[in-house]
Amino acid sequence: MNKPVNVHSKDNLARLLATESLYVTHDPTAPTASFDPKNRIVTLPILKVMDGYHYNAFVAHECGHAIYTPTKEYMAIAKETHHVIANIVEDARIEKLIQRKHPGFRKDFYNFYKDICDENSNNGDWFGLNQVRKVSQKKLTLADKLNLQFKVGTFFKVEFTPEEQHFVPMLAKLETWEETEDAIRAVFEWMKSNDQIKEIASSVSEEFVEGDDGEGEESGEQAKGKSKKGKKSKQVHDQGENAGGKEFESGSDFQELGKTLEDMDKTIEKKVVDTNISDKKVFGDVAKLDKKTIEDSIKDVRIPQKDVKCPEFDTFLSSVLPVVNMMVSNFNMYQSAKRSAKETLADTGTLNKKKLHAYQYASNIFKKSSVVYDDKNHGLVIFLDWSGSMTNNILSTYKQLLILTEFCRKIQIPFEIYCFTDSSRWSTKRIQQGIYSNNSATLFKLFDSTLHLNSYRKAIKYLFKNIQDGSYGVIASMGGTPLNNVAFLSEYVIKNFKLKFGCEKTIMCLLSDGEGHDSIELNGNSVRDKQVIMRDTYSCKNFITKNNTEAFHTIFNYVKNKCDVSKMIGFYLTDSLSDNDTLLLAPQLADDKVTSREIVKKFNENNFAECPKYSAFDRFFAISIKSFDVSNAKNLADRVKSMVFLKTFIKEIG
């Protein structure tokens, strides 16, 4: 019985072997593995019976091409001669080189070729060996024989004529690409002189080789149209050109998926997503935004760094800085203690002469050194709701943000602060492919940690005064709350942030006071009332959202996985909390009314409550606006208690 295989680990294996970020996809319609050298895509098939050694052999072979096959030179020689011949000769070289580099794959290749040579193999007769066993090998071309010799020669005796025999050691000795080019030309010229070139189209080598790399004249689309049943491949290949309504051969291993490619796509989609998929469920890839859309959606406000008079800001800053400084001091002491706890002693490899006398009964005669492991460097990205409903709460929220940024500046943690609204001029109608939001959003970067202290203080003071005076238009006019669109855009923000600051751990915070009003679309059509299965085209992972209420959770979960975000924290700012409100923060509470009521009770008692973890957000808090304003604190203890953002952030990085 074959063991289950973690296909995602095989994706990572391919990337590690090739030492580059290859795109790996698993395609049930693919007759064999393939590698697209231009787009750097590895396609792995899904066989009826597929163990770990099948995957390992596929991955190792394709990564051998990624590492050793020069794309331009290969395309040139394939065009000059014949792409099937070029592929067969190059396969002999790269399989030898990848097994030499990683000897552990030798067993995988052995088991793989042993399985497909078995007359009773569950995965079909890849090389048409059952047919070859019944007839004379004289009908095989030189390309066929070389392909069989260097792939299954251990399990199947290939009969070469005296003229053909000298090509075997020639291919076995290949090391460099230059030698490979000479061998390709030699095989091609011999086959041309013996009138075998025309026979390649219907030979058994086409099964494995032409679909193997998607190179030369035949693309991946053509390769997908092939079956695995000997001479039938040519017929199915021809249908692959225009396969919309044409039927597959009855012998296809995947006939149970449907008679046409359209039927097959639908059946595969249902099998991958859900065995009981219905009209209430849709499946699609997350939309990819072009450069123009990203520029229209994510803007740098560049708040004017002007000297303005604002006594309220001066009073606020002078009241919170002592508390921030105290918390910074405590944080540094805690970090120092944590580093000391991680400190270890290690041998230096240098002899301690004072202990040489004890060498006969003591092994510890080397000098020691103290090893202190560095902490991970953190980064913070915050998204602030800039909708109309935040008008009465924006100043107190902004004060909380300033306390947090002051702390981050003092301990040198990079940060970026964005506000979001739907008052933008671009339309999502330009996005016609994939899953996206039906309402456009714009992220405005308020400021970040790269500003010098003087410029930073002028900018935050200028914005403080404008918010206090109700001049919100200095950023953008307040509109709706497009949470779903913000979640999609956060992928591009976080990617750029991590690239810019090189953070090993990134924390994302969301501050909002309401439910998003935008819904999900697939290819420009609304799917608001349907269960949506979103696929990440890079990792091929699926992310399922049951309804529009929990959509932003699912999208942020996609971003968390895609961008490797360490923690996601949400803050729901409200005057009161109801059972329905808790469903926005933790949708699973729809089936747990008891927990929902307990959260509401805690909120009413403490003006603060934490909801259980759901999907992307590691922590989601409901906070009362009444107790949120730092200015209302009467003493130092109340001031510390009201610093909700800062205390939460310290816990996450501590």
- Going from the first residue of the chain to its last (654 residues), give the mean pLDDT of each consecutive group of 10, the final group possibly shorter: 50 63 67 74 68 78 86 90 91 90 84 78 66 74 89 84 89 92 93 85 37 36 34 30 32 42 48 46 84 87 85 89 84 72 62 70 66 67 90 86 88 91 68 79 89 91 91 82 90 93 89 83 79 80 82 91 90 87 84 88 87 86 76 60 67 65
Q: Which one, of 480, 475, 481, 477, lies nearest residue 462 by Cα?
A: 475
**Cα 161 versus chain centre, distance:** 51
Place of tokens 């209420």: 549
Q: What is the pLDDT of residue 11?
A: 58
Exposed e or buried b per residue across 576-589, where buried means at least 16 C-beta atoms within 10 angstroms of its C-beta:
ebeeebbbbbbbeb
Q: What is the pLDDT of residue 490?
A: 93
Q: How many residues can be counted in the chain?
A: 654
DSSP per-residue letters across 102-164: STTHHHHHHHHHHHHH-TT-TT--TT-HHHHHHS-GGGS-HHHHHHHHHHHTTTS-----HHH
Element (H, E) at 173: none
- State pTM to two decimals: 0.57
As a whole number of angstroms, the distance between CA 68 and CA 95 comes to 10
506: β partners: 379
Q: What is the pLDDT of residue 85?
A: 92
535: β partners: 285, 542
Contact between 46 and 28 (Cβ < 8 Å): yes
Domains of the chain and CATH, by start: 7-207 (no CATH), 311-325+375-529+548-579+625-653 (3.40.50), 331-371 (no CATH)
Q: What is the pLDDT of residue 390?
A: 87
Q: What is the pLDDT of residue 33?
A: 76
532: β partners: 282, 545
Q: What is the pLDDT of residue 215?
A: 37
